[in-house]
Chains A and B, each alone.
Chain A
C-alpha cells in the first residue's frame, strides 16, 4: 500500500473513529453529570431563547471591549473564517467530502482559496507569536495550546504546499496533507479544539441560566 492509499484509507478511517468516539465520550462525560433543579422564581420562562440568543450574539464582541481585544479577535476571526472557507470552499475538498458522504455544493475558484489559505496561515502564525509574547497568554498556555496550534496549522501548510507542488512529488505531498488532517481529527476531542462543539454547550448554558434570572449577557 503506498502512502497516499494508506492516508486516504486506514489512517482516515481510524482518525474518524477516534474523532467520533472521543467527541461523544467527552460530551457525554460532561452532559450526563447531575443538574440541580432550580426552584427560584424565574424572571424569564424562555431559557431556550436565551441560549440561542447568546450562541449567536457572543460571536460579535461587545463595543465596550472592542479596543483592548481588537488585535487578538481580528486574528481569531481571520483564521476561523479562513479555515471554514478553505475546508468547505476548495473544489477538491468538496469532491472528497462528496465521495465520503454524497453531499456537495459549488466551490470557489482555486486562486481565491490559495489567497485565503495564505492569510489563514499568516493569522495562525500571528496567533502563535502573540501566545508566546503576551504575558497573560504565556501564563495561561499549556501543552494543549501549542499542540492544538500545531495540528491546526499543519493541514493549512501542507495543503498550500501540495497545491503549489512544492517540496516533493504531488502524491507524497497530498498524502502528507491527508495525514495531517487525520492527526487533527484524532486530537480534536481531547484538547481545546473541542471548542468547535463546546462553544454551543457553554454559551447555551450561560444563555439559558442568565435568561432565567434576566441577568446581562
Chain B
C-alpha cells in the first residue's frame, strides 16, 4: 500500500511549494503605520464575545507552554501558546476592552509597532499548527488556536504572511488549487489512475447523491487515494461524482488567514454540491479541509448547508458498521493510529478510525497520548509549506517518533494526507523506518469481493 509517485523528502517539490530563492515575507508596499492599522482592524473584524472572553481570561499561569510541541522541544518561552498572540492581545486591551478608555488615558498599554508584528510572524505562522492542544491544558480553557486564526486574518490583510503560505494561497485563489492541481491536471490524474487501477471514477455526472472531494496533496502526491475512494464508493453501489468545478478540499485561504479566499474555495464545493443535487459532501483525508467545510462551511454560506458533510473516516466507520462496506480482516498486525488534530481533537470525529481498524482485523496499540490528547505531527496549519520552519518542525516531530516507537506497533496509520506529507518528509529527514499509511487505502485494499455493482451510476444507486 501507499504507493507514492513522488518519493518522500524530495525536497520542496514533494511538499508542493518550491523553496523560494529570495524570501518575500511581506506583501504589498504599505507604509508601516498602514500595515499596523490594517492588521489590527482585520484582527477585530470577526471579533465577538467569544474572542473577547478568551483575551480577557488569561491568568498568565504559563501552563499552555507545556502542551505545545514547540515549547516542549525547545524550551524557548517565546513558543508559549498565549505569547504567540501577545501584540494582538495588547491591541485589544488598549483599543477594545471594557476598560480601554482608562487604559489609554493612563497609558497602561503602549501601542504595538509594525516591527513587533513582523517579529511575531514566525510565532503566528511558523510555530503554530493551530492543533489546539494548548486548550486542553489551559485552566481557563482558552481556545488559543482560534485566536491565532484571528491574528492570521490581521496578518494577511496587512501583507505579513510567510512567502510560501502566501504563494500557495494566492495560487489557490487564482488557479483553484494551491499546489497546481488545476481542473485539467486533476482530470488527467483521474484518467491515469482509473486506467492504472482499473477502477471507474465518476467525473462531472450531472446528478449524484454524493459529491466527493479531494485534497491537492492527494492529487499530486498520493493519487492512490482517488482510486481508493472510487473502489469503496463503487463497492457500495453509491451514486457519486467528482465535479471539475468543485473538487479541491484544501483551503489555503483558511490557513493563510484570508477569509475572502477561504469563502471562495468553500463556495466552489458548495456550488458543485448544489449543482449535482448531492445530499452528502464527502471530505477527503485532510484535516483542515474538515474544519473548513464541516465546521465553517455553513458560516461561509451564511445559512445551513443543504447537504451533510462528513470526513472519510466517519463515513467509512458508519458504513462498515451498517454493513454497506464489507471488509476482510486483512490487516493482521499491530497498528497505531495518528489522530489528525483538526479531525479528531478539534473536529470531534474521534472513534471512526478505531472502528475501521478493528474491522480490518488490526490489533490497535494506542499511543500514550491519543485521541484528543494526541501530539500534532508538526506540519499542520500550513507549517509544512514554510521552509524556514523545517528545523523547528523536525524538532517537534521527534515527539511523534517517540510516541510511535513506544507503541511497538508494526504499522502506522492516519487519516490526513497533510499529516502523511509531514510524516514522509520527516521520515526521510531522520532516515526513520516508519511510514504513515492511509486509513482509506487500507479499507480499499481489504474490500470484501465481489462488489455489488462495480460501477454503479446514478440509476438504481443506493442512498448514501
Contacts and interface: CB of A to CB of B under 8 A. Distances in A.
Interface of A: 25-26, 28-36, 38-41, 43, 54, 58, 61-62, 64-65, 68-69, 72-73, 76, 134-143, 145, 190, 192, 194-195, 198-199, 201-203, 205-207, 209-210, 213-217
Contact of A215 (B56, B59, B309, B348): B348
B98 A26 contact: yes
27 contacts: A25-B99, A31-B49, A34-B48, A35-B48, A39-B298, A39-B301, A39-B303, A40-B297, A41-B308, A54-B141, A58-B139, A61-B137, A61-B139, A72-B63, A135-B77, A136-B62, A136-B80, A139-B77, A143-B108, A192-B59, A194-B56, A202-B57, A203-B140, A213-B347, A213-B348, A215-B345, A215-B372
B230 interface: no
B136 interface: yes
Contacts of B80: 136, 139-140
Contacts of A29: 52, 97-99
B35 interface: no
| Most chain B Cβ neighbours within 10 Å, of A40, A58, A139 | A40
Nearest to B98: A29
Contact of A216 (B54, B58, B136): B136
Contacts of A35: 48-50
Contacts of A33: 47-49, 52
Contacts of B295: 40, 213
Interface residues of B, number: 64
Contacts of B65: 136
Nearest to B61: A72
A209 B50 contact: yes
B140 A198 contact: yes
Interface of B: 46-50, 52-54, 56-63, 65-67, 71, 75, 77-78, 80, 82-83, 97-99, 108, 132, 135-137, 139-143, 294-299, 301-305, 308-309, 344-350, 368-369, 371-373
A136 B137 contact: no
A145 B60 contact: yes
Q: Chain A contact residues: over half helix, strand or loop, or mixed?
A: helix
Given A139-B77, A216-B350, A26 B48 contact: no
Contacts of B71: 136
Contact of A41 (B50, B97, B298): B298
Contact of A140 (B46, B62, B97): B62
A198 B56 contact: yes
Contact of B141 (A43, A142, A194, A203): A203
Given A33-B48, A40-B299, A199-B57, 18 more contacts: A31-B49, A33-B49, A39-B304, A58-B139, A72-B61, A72-B62, A76-B139, A135-B75, A136-B77, A195-B140, A198-B56, A198-B57, A210-B348, A213-B346, A216-B346, A216-B373, A217-B136, A217-B372
